[in-house]
Structure 1
């Protein structure tokens, strides 16, 4: 059995690498997975006869996860953990498999406990930091998610293949890639335009005071990753704020460096920066980086520059 596993495991691992790639983990089955299904079934049969082969259970769990068989993946990772518990990689993989059994993923309960256990073993473990951030964002704790993902970004470096993914994830939850203790972004010589944000009365009557409102500043009207963002609540509106470079999401790209700012706002029912397609929105409206500029965003109706004709 051990000799057969020695042949099957490298073959399956190579197939998984080619089809699934590296971290972050793919949560849906890859195309052309029929051959992988056969390899996985063969490995499962051999492990049933040789249940002490821990590396085989780990590979089987990863294989099931890549094929979208999350219940089977969680069970396989559980077998591996029964043989050796102190492994943050396997703990985090079982947490992910358990969470992904539901749609949307459910991180409360055992998945969260497994991630806490993994972080206690290794506070710098990349997969665990990523998933802990996902779990925190899912429960609406953007600050905790930001801490996990900023720490991970520091560990992997700004040029790592997944660094852009992390920066985009941070922007989605209204968090800066820079930690609070790294100092604010250097202020511009002069402040930027004033942005006034309000809700239509009809819309305000339907929302709770704690509902999240995001203001995004981009370099184009089409969308994409914001250059700057502000997170508020319905209770804060109506609101008038002056844009500054401290609202930039990346210290290497300041708001004051943009030739034209495209400003939009939306109510986020999920609490995430991107929001849902049916979330009430306003904008985008353009402005220049000048203190005398002002724009008005009324969520629920079209945004127009202050003083412009309706």
Structure 2
């Protein structure tokens, strides 16, 4: 059906282009037709002027002779230019009319397919609207912080920096984190987040400014996993592969139970191990605690008004929900979404998200600790 429709449209387009070329050319008015008609009218005008006595017989005769010469010259010029140019242009148009759809069809058969689904305009509009909404909220938060006589609370600047980081605006995130890093209440997490933003802003390179932030983060907390990770990246860039590997393995072995960042560690360790012929590590088991934002995380937006804070949080949750529509196999993502809905006290949505996670858990081992997490959560929610 689709290909037949495309062929029909092509034939209609070619027909529209060829119709004027195939129709009678006698209707086309050329200069060779128009000029003699004008000169003949001038000849009649000479006769009228002579009848009224405006010109003499000698003047009329001279004017007639001149007009006859011009008619003859125009006729010869028209005959000399007729045919070739007209036919040449017609051939060119015919070739173009036939060649254009042939070339288009060949390109489409190579590069395209009618079976490939397209992204609906409405979906793109909703995504743009959500991005604009988050951007507007971030601008409002920044304005409030910058106009605060006390310079704005550190929690607000950290929230702004994390928001910019999620939006892909690493340079703006660096500025926000740096505000807190210059204060006395800066923590190890402040410097590790600053280091990450600097690395992202510099295309993944650990430049001296990032290394300084890493060192300060580790000075305040030697167990900071993010700072250790970027410190290992620094050594990896200096081609000190063994040192980078040892840092990650040592920090990973310090944990007695699962925490989410261990998956990132294991992936990076095994990547280094494969390239440097070092022993890989086993992938860590899932956590028995619910992933996702907690009430304390949401309270970090306390410097915003109640309406702005609720709007901001819901926009973040909506983005996670939309991502899961494209990645429905993300088990931990559904658990994070369910936990977020629980914190927002949206019971029905939380139950629905946990049901998605429950279905995905059927493919996991029977002793997977996440089964108990989902079961307990559904019992608490009455689901």
Q: Would you say same fold, with TM above 0.5?
A: no
Q: Taking structure 2 as the reference length, what is the TM-score of the superposition?
A: 0.37
Please say which structure displays the higher CA radius of gyration.
Answer: 2
Q: Specify which structure has the bigger relative contact order, considering alpha-carbon pairs within 8 angstroms and separated by 6 or more residues.
A: 1
**Bigger strand share:** 1
**Bigger helix share:** 2
Q: Taking structure 1 as the reference length, what is the TM-score of the superposition?
A: 0.45
